Chain A
Amino acid sequence: MQTQSMFGTKAEGLLLMQQRSRVSMFWKMIFIFATAIAILFLLLLLVSVIDSIFGYTVIRNEVDVPELVSGASSLDDLSRSQLEETARDNLSSGILRRVEYEKPIAEQSDRELRALIEQYIIKPSVLRSWGLWDSITKQDEIGAYMANQEDSYLIFKSWITPDFLTNDQSANPLNAGIRTALLGSLWIIAITFLLAFPIGVGSAIYLEEYADDTKLNRMLQLNIFNLSAVPSIIYGLLGLAVFVRAMEGVTSGAIFSAVADTTANGRTILSGGLTLGLLVLPIIIINTQEALKGVPDTLRMSSYGVGATKWQTIWSHVLPVSFDRILTGTILALSRALGETAPLVVIGASTFISVDPSSIFSKFTTLPIQIYQWSARPQGSYRNIAAAAIIVLLVLLLVLNSGAIYLRDILSKKKRMAA
């Protein structure tokens, strides 16, 4: 009887229940709403990028192919001898001299010759372009525009093409590609990994498995957390002072007598990779520590119980159990490095290079830098190729991240299968 009176009558209880489930439902709606907004913004981003890389484009050639070779409608129709002849006859003498000096026309492939002719003789330029949405909805306007145009033609262009991946940089957005930037990004990530993975995992093992709970170690831990939150541009300034300036002899390759042909002093791949390595080091340390914390102490104890040393315990039991999480943490940290722009701008990434990086002492540019450069230019077509480069960068990040998830799944499935 007493308990009944403490909780009120049955009717009151029912009423309260309804009220409680209403509140519960209200919060559920709030959370769904938050998720929906987040997804909406992500979709908007994707849509706006995709809108920029497809669409109708009006192009005007300075010289058309039929004017060069009568009877031919495009460069693909020309024979080898016609290509060589066209190039020799129409290139200005200065350019011809430079081309012959770098790589004689007779030695160039058909594809290279076509690119040469397009770049220096036909000289296509974009008069106007529409986004994907406008291309679909504003066909009347496009038609009216074309009616007033002469010497130009309309194509439906995809700015992201195989050529876009393999071409050099170029002053003409129609010919520009991201090969050097892509290679630069990959080189830099490799250096970042080589620096940050061993040092990061090593210090995490020390802090988590060996270090005593002293004031000094607690302070170290706190500072690692702080470092992981330091803005990336600060790392750029550090890299500029230490790697580019103070260690120029090393980072330019001078003391190894390995200075690249196109020397950039200390502003090399090595400097960029080391800077990004420092940037992700605290993240890798923290991720690895978390992975090691996930290993139950009973496993360590059972290893010590049969007379194992600390290292035998770590190597045979702790690392195999935590390896999948260490690896995922590292890959996620690297994908952050892949998207970094500010620190590389500060240490002096090149804005325009058409030479592939050939060693760690080469000049470099990376995808995010390239995107930044292109999107800062006034001409509209640069925005199109910036969008295309963004797609490439996003795909690269997606591959890295899903690779991390895939690896984690395989490794933990292996553990489960074994279990």
Chain B
Amino acid sequence: MKVMQAAAEESFEFLGKSEAVENQEIITLEDVNIHYGSFHAVKNASLPIYEKQVTAFIGPSGCGKSTVLRSINRMNDMIRGATIDGKVLFHGHDLYAKDVDPVLIRRSIGMVFQKPNPFPKSIYENITWGAKINGFKGDYNELVETSLQKAALWDEVKDKLKENALRLSGGQQQRLCIARTLAVQPEVILMDEPASALDPIATGRIEELILELKKYYTIVIVTHNMGQASRVSDNTAFFMVDEGRTGYLEEYAPTEQLFLNPTHKKTEEYISGKFG
């Protein structure tokens, strides 16, 4: 637990963080198997996630990429009947160890969802609520401004912070959700197809934002859009699904290598659009 707390304390100083060491593993998945009841959803997934890089999860529908993503901040706990074997290490500490509180994990490993889901409250409260429940003691106005600025939303909403967040457009809502996640100062941000419900222009802005955020945060993104994966990610994990509909990791490599020189035949077929 000490590791977790140290990590949490560290993440509060996110702006003044020292430069990351190249290819430092922040999260490691070791032989992760996930079941939904008796259904084996994902088998033997092992992969590293490097600090301050963008890791993309791609693969056909039903390959378990979102399931693996949710296992990283224990969001799967919320799904009835979901069980997990294997290890998910965060700073070398197993997130599924008995003494780990999932609530604390989710503060350090934030999440942005497929469909923009701001709280039905004001824009201001959307940012401050997460900080408030986590015991934030600083200046809330400043927190709102910096969070919205980092999510490239400040200029659009600074005059209507008291307005309900649901009045924003889909793309703005999604950036607000990112800002809301940033406000609790996480180290890692998980994004589950964050642009799939948005139009191309809003998608472009989210992608720009991801490239900007990666200076300060580790990002893991699930996407159906291979162009998006190649544009924003440093590493890509390609998941496949076997005959029993169980997902598994087919190939993991630096993005450029995976897209230009895939070593597995299935990867090549998938990225060239032969199926999926």
A side interface size, CB within 8 A: 23
Whether the pair A306, B107 counts as a contact (CB closer than 8 A) is yes
Does A419 lie at the interface of the complex (its beta carbon under 8 Å from any beta carbon of B)?
yes
Whether the pair A309, B103 counts as a contact (CB closer than 8 A) is yes
Please, which residues of chain A bring their CB within 8 A of the CB of B177?
A: 302
Cross-chain contact of A303 among B73, B119, B167 (Cβ < 8 A): B119
- Nearest neighbor of B163 in chain A, beta-carbon distance: A418
Q: Mark A395-419, 1 if CB is under 8 A from B, else 0.
A: 0000000000000000000010011
With the chains together, A316 CA to B129 CA distance in Å?
A: 9
Whether the pair B81, A306 counts as a contact (CB closer than 8 A) is no
Whether the pair B106, A306 counts as a contact (CB closer than 8 A) is yes
Q: Mark A3-14, 1 if CB is under 8 A from B, else 0.
A: 000000000000
- Nearest neighbor of B80 in chain A, beta-carbon distance: A213
Whether the pair A304, B113 counts as a contact (CB closer than 8 A) is no
Whether the pair B107, A298 counts as a contact (CB closer than 8 A) is no
Q: Mark B124-145, 1 if CB is under 8 A from A, else 0.
A: 0000011001100000000000
Whether the pair A305, B133 counts as a contact (CB closer than 8 A) is no
Does A355 lie at the interface of the complex (its beta carbon under 8 Å from any beta carbon of B)?
no
Whether the pair B110, A305 counts as a contact (CB closer than 8 A) is yes
Whether the pair A307, B133 counts as a contact (CB closer than 8 A) is yes
Whether the pair B75, A305 counts as a contact (CB closer than 8 A) is yes
A307-B106, A307-B184, A419-B164 as given contacts; A302 in contact with B78, CB under 8 Å = no
Please, which residues of chain B bring their CB within 8 A of the CB of A212?
A: 80
With the chains together, A317 CA to B80 CA distance in Å?
A: 20
With the chains together, A305 CA to B117 CA distance in Å?
A: 11
Whether the pair A305, B106 counts as a contact (CB closer than 8 A) is yes
A213-B80, A419-B167 as given contacts; A308 in contact with B103, CB under 8 Å = yes
Whether the pair A298, B115 counts as a contact (CB closer than 8 A) is yes
Cross-chain contact of A419 among B110, B117, B166, B183 (Cβ < 8 A): B166
Does A301 lie at the interface of the complex (its beta carbon under 8 Å from any beta carbon of B)?
yes
Cross-chain contact of B117 among A302, A312, A415, A418 (Cβ < 8 A): A302
CB distance from A309 to the nearest CB of B (A): 5
Does A146 lie at the interface of the complex (its beta carbon under 8 Å from any beta carbon of B)?
no
Cross-chain contact of B75 among A301, A415, A418 (Cβ < 8 A): A301
With the chains together, A300 CA to B77 CA distance in Å?
A: 13
Other 9 A-B pairs with CB < 8 A, given A299-B120, A302-B117, A316-B129 = A212-B80, A301-B75, A302-B177, A305-B111, A305-B112, A305-B113, A418-B120, A418-B121, A418-B122
7 A-B Cβ contacts within 8 A? A213-B80, A298-B115, A304-B75, A305-B112, A306-B181, A306-B184, A307-B104
